[in-house]
Amino acid sequence: MTRDEVIQKLREEMKVSSTEEADWDAVGAETTIESLGFDSLSILDLIYDVQQAFGLSFDAEKLVDVRTVGDLADFIQKELDA
C-alpha cells in the first residue's frame, strides 16, 4: 500500500468518526489530527477504527508522537511492513 493509498483510506475512517465539518477532500499529510475534531476520547475510537480497517493490532501508547495525518500514515505503513 502506498502512502497516498494509506492516507486515502485514513481519510475515509476519519470522516466516519469525526463530527467536525472539515473539507475532507483537502485533508492531506500535513493536516493535524486535532484540527479534524478529535479529542482525547474520540482519538481512542479512531485508533480502534484504524486497527480494524488495516487489520493491525498495536499499542495506542505508540502513537504519542503522531500529530499529523502523514505521521499516522507513516506509522501504519511501518506496522504493515513489520
Partner 1 sequence: MPDDRRAVVTGLGVVCALGVTESAFWESLLAGRSGIGPVTRFDAAGYRTRVASEIDDAALGPALKARKIRPTDRSVDIGLLAAAQALESAGLASPDRAPEPQEVTTIFGTGAGPSDSAFAGTRSFLERGLAGLRPSTVPTVMINAVSAQISLRYKLRGPNWVVASACASSTAAIGQAFRLVRAGHAERVLAGGTDAILNPLAFGAWNNLGVMSANPDPDTACRPFDVDRDGLVLGEGAAALVVESLAAARARSAAIRAEILGFGESSDAEHITRPDPDGQARAIAAALASAGLRPADVGFINAHGSATPANDTCESDAIRRVFGAAADRIPTASSKSYFGHTLGACGALETAATLLALAHGLVPGNRNLHHPDPQCAIRLVGRAPEAVSARVAIKNSFGFGGHNAVLVLGRFED
Give the residues lining the site for partner 1 (CB under 8 A). 19-20, 37, 39-42, 44-45, 47-48, 60
What is the closest distance, in whole angstroms, from the C-beta atom of residue 44 to partner 1 in the complex? 4
What is the closest distance, in whole angstroms, from the C-beta atom of residue 6 to partner 1 in the complex? 21
CB 82 within 8 A of CB 6: no
- Plot region of 55 (φ>0 → left; ψ -120 to 50 → alpha; else → beta): left
Q: Which is nearer to partner 1, 29 or 53 (CB)?
A: 53
What is the closest distance, in whole angstroms, from the C-beta atom of residue 21 to partner 1 in the complex? 9
User: To 5 degrees, how large is the angle CA 20–CA 67–CA 11?
Assistant: 45
